[in-house]
Structure 1
Amino acid sequence: MSVGGSYDCITKTPLGDQKGVLTVIPGDGDSFTGNITGDLGSMDIRDGRISGNTLSWQMKMTMPMPMDLDCTATVEGDVITGKVKAGMFGTMDLTGTRRA
């Protein structure tokens, strides 16, 4: 099954649970593009890579403060689980399910 699609996600942050929709658009080879959109706005995926059912990518957060995020996630069926590394705030859990 393709890792592409849209996922309703929750990231456990120091500011509480942040809901968002992660969109994964597979590209050529092992690359992908997309974004995550939520209450704090939208962030584009940069340097998206696919290895089997594992995704890795970066995002540049601007709200509530500028920060580079390093992300990894695994897709199993319609479930995505992963980690978001947010500088001095450490690593946060990301979970979600594919939208129908």
Structure 2
Amino acid sequence: MPAQHSPSGHTVHLSTSGVDARITPDEFGGFVLEIGGAVQSHVDLADPARIRYEYLRRMANVLDAASPDGAPVRVLHLGAGALTLPRYLQATRPGSEQTV
């Protein structure tokens, strides 16, 4: 099924799981990813260091505590959602090696 566009977002049917994935803009200029009607992730393309959801903020805090501020890190991401953490690391730790 092709992607469906509307002013309120972008929806695509995921054939492997049989559910819809939807990306909708939020009130602050970011985007929310929903899969099967459940919110999964959020990303702000203008400010990737702004993390909206607590579970992602905690992961970012662990990454920040693991090495000095701004130092590149090497990370393997298992799952990506809206690519919130890869974008965060790209913005806050340039030169990091990331596999998504």
Q: Would you say same fold, with TM above 0.5?
A: no
Normalised TM-score (structure 1): 0.33
Higher relative helix content = 2
Q: Which has the higher contact order (CA 8 A, sep 6+)?
A: 1
Structure with bigger gyration radius: 2
Greater strand proportion: 1
